[in-house]
Every structure is written in structure tokens, then in C-alpha cells.
Amino acid sequence: MNIYFPKSLKSDKKGIEFISYVWGKCKKIYSYKIFWNLRFTSNIETNLLSVLGIIIDKLMKKGNKIFIELRDNKGILRTISSNIIEELFMKYSEFKFKALQYKYINFSIVNNEIDKYLNEDLKELRLKEFEKVKIILSELIANIKMHASSKQGSISAFIDIKKDELVVSVCNIGKTIKQNIEEKVNYNFDNDLDAILWLN
């Protein structure tokens, strides 16, 4: 199976729709060779690596082999089948901060890695609003620990210096935040955004 990635993959409607397409196309496949073709992809926002990492992890647990085709910095075409997310980060991230890199997290155990991420790795970015960002991420992680049915997840981030923006993706595969809250409080939301805003 071949999946062709777009020239640019961003945290926008098109980007999320494409990732949903990738997951939808691959999620029922077992013991198969899957090729992700990124030979013409010039940009991936690195916060999306958390989502791609979860997809790769789930596919590999079903006995699939994932191969990624991309060009190195000299334009030479390479096929990668191990350390895929790390290779994508090294190719597509302009900045090599630890806070931006993909991290697998098991939310069901006391995790020193989460504390290190919040208290050390984020500090490397020298954010103007460090404390606010730390609190928001702490609350999101706490909600995953308490409410999510799947306790295995990942985190990664993308920073845009020109726009002065930081985008962090924390994800797992299980019920959505909206579904979890609706079950707990017996209240219906129109969409996930409304549910997330209700939490704050």
C-alpha cells in the first residue's frame, strides 16, 4: 500500500483531514507493507509527529512494516524503516529543542518524563509565557490521565519564531475528550472544541 503525502503538512484543516485519511486507510490492515511517500514533502509541522507516531505504533503492533521514502538534505532519495519519527524530526524541524521532539508517554504510571518535559525541556524554548504554557499542558495531561480510555499517548511540538507561536500536540487513540466528558457528566457538546473549552 502506498500513501502519498502532500508537499506541506500543517496543523490546519487540510492537515488534520489528511492525517485522518491516513489513519482511516491503514487502521484495519494487518501484516502488510505500508509505504509513506514523502519524496515531495518539503514541510511538516513537528507537532503533528505525535499523531503520526501514534499511528505508526498502532500499525506496527498489528504486524505491519512501515517504510518511509524521503529525500535527504542533498536531495538523495532514501527509504527508512526504523526510527521513523526521529528521522522525520531531524529532516523537518528547523529547531532541535527536546520540547519539540516526539515522545511516547504512558499516562497510566507516575512518569518522571512528563515532569522533565514540563520543568526542563519547555524551559529550553525561553517562552515569554512559560508558566501559562506549563499550566495549560499540565491540565491537559491530567485530563488524559483521569478521563481517557487509552493511557498510551505521545507529545510533540512545533515552534514558529516569525509568528511567535508554539503549537503542542498531546494525543492518544481512544475516546475523544468530548466522548469522555459526555459519559462522565451526562452533558452533550456539539464538537470537541466546545468540550475542551468547557474544561477550562
* pLDDT category of residue 79 using cuts at 50, 70 and 90: very high
pLDDT average, residue stretch 2-14: 94
Residue 200 pLDDT > 80, yes or no? no
- Domain ranges in the chain are 1-93, 94-200
Per residue in 82-141, pLDDT tens? Answer: 999 999 999 999 888 999 999 888 877 766 888 899 999 999 998 989 999 999 998 888
Mean pLDDT, all residues of the chain: 88
User: For residue 185, which amino acid is it?
Assistant: V
Q: What is the pTM of this model?
A: 0.73
Cα gap 62→84, rounded to integer Å? 17
Dihedral of the alpha carbons of 83, 37, 20, 160, in degrees to the nearest 10 = 70
Above pLDDT 90, what percent of the chain?
54
User: Residues 171-198: pLDDT tens digits?
Assistant: 876 667 677 778 778 788 887 777 777 7
- Residue keyed to cell 470537541: 192
- Predicted pLDDT at 174: 67
pLDDT of the residue at 48? 94
Which is the CATH superfamily of the domain at 1-93? Answer: STAS domain (3.30.750.24)
